């Protein structure tokens, strides 16, 4: 009877230890999975932020290039307009000088 009691207690102790080991392993597995999930989420968040930052920087760069292109086109248009105005003014000056010369020669001829 004492032997049976000892065997029963040994069996119960072994079952208790097996149960505790299983619970510890389950807890460790759950903690590991939670840690891995947290790391995955942190990595995904970092990747999302990096992507957003890259998109923001690309947008800023695109706006800068567009602004520079618009400024260059405006400068070229202004230079073209200034050249046309200078040519028009030179033509008017030449026409006026020719007219004045013709008038002067006509007066001199009349005198």
Q: What is the pLDDT of residues 95-106, one digit of tens each?
A: 999 999 999 999
Asked if the model's pLDDT at residue 60 lies above 90, the reply is yes
Task: Report how far residue 69's alpha carbon sits from residue 74's, in angstroms, rounded to the nearest whole number.
Answer: 9
The pLDDT-based confidence of 111 (bands split at 50, 70, 90) is confident
Q: Which helix (H) or strand (E) holds 95?
A: helix 2-110
Task: Report how far residue 69's alpha carbon sits from residue 82's, in angstroms, rounded to the nearest whole number.
Answer: 20
pLDDT of residue 101: 96
Task: Report how far residue 56's alpha carbon sits from residue 62's, in angstroms, rounded to the nearest whole number.
Answer: 10
| Structure confidence by residue, pLDDT tens digits, 21-33 | 999 999 999 999 9
Task: Report how far residue 26's alpha carbon sits from residue 101's, in angstroms, rounded to the nearest whole number.
Answer: 111
- Give me the chain's average pLDDT, please: 97
How far is CA 63 from its chain centroid?
Answer: 11
| 18's tokens | 């097996």
| Global pTM value | 0.51
The pLDDT-based confidence of 52 (bands split at 50, 70, 90) is very high
Tell which residue, 34, 13, 16, 12, has the closest CA to residue 24.
16
């Amino acid at each position: 009877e004492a032997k049976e009691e000892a065997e029963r207690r040994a069996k119960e102790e072994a079952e208790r230890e097996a149960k505790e080991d299983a619970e510890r392993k389950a807890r460790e597995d759950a903690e590991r999975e939670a840690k891995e999930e947290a790391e995955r989420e942190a990595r995904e968040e970092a990747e999302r932020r990096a992507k957003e930052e890259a998109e923001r920087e690309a947008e800023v760069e695109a706006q800068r290039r567009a602004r520079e292109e618009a400024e260059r086109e405006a400068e070229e248009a202004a230079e073209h307009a200034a050249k046309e105005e200078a040519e028009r003014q030179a033509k008017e000056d030449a026409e006026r000088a020719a007219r004045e010369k013709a008038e002067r020669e006509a007066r001199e001829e009349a005198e």
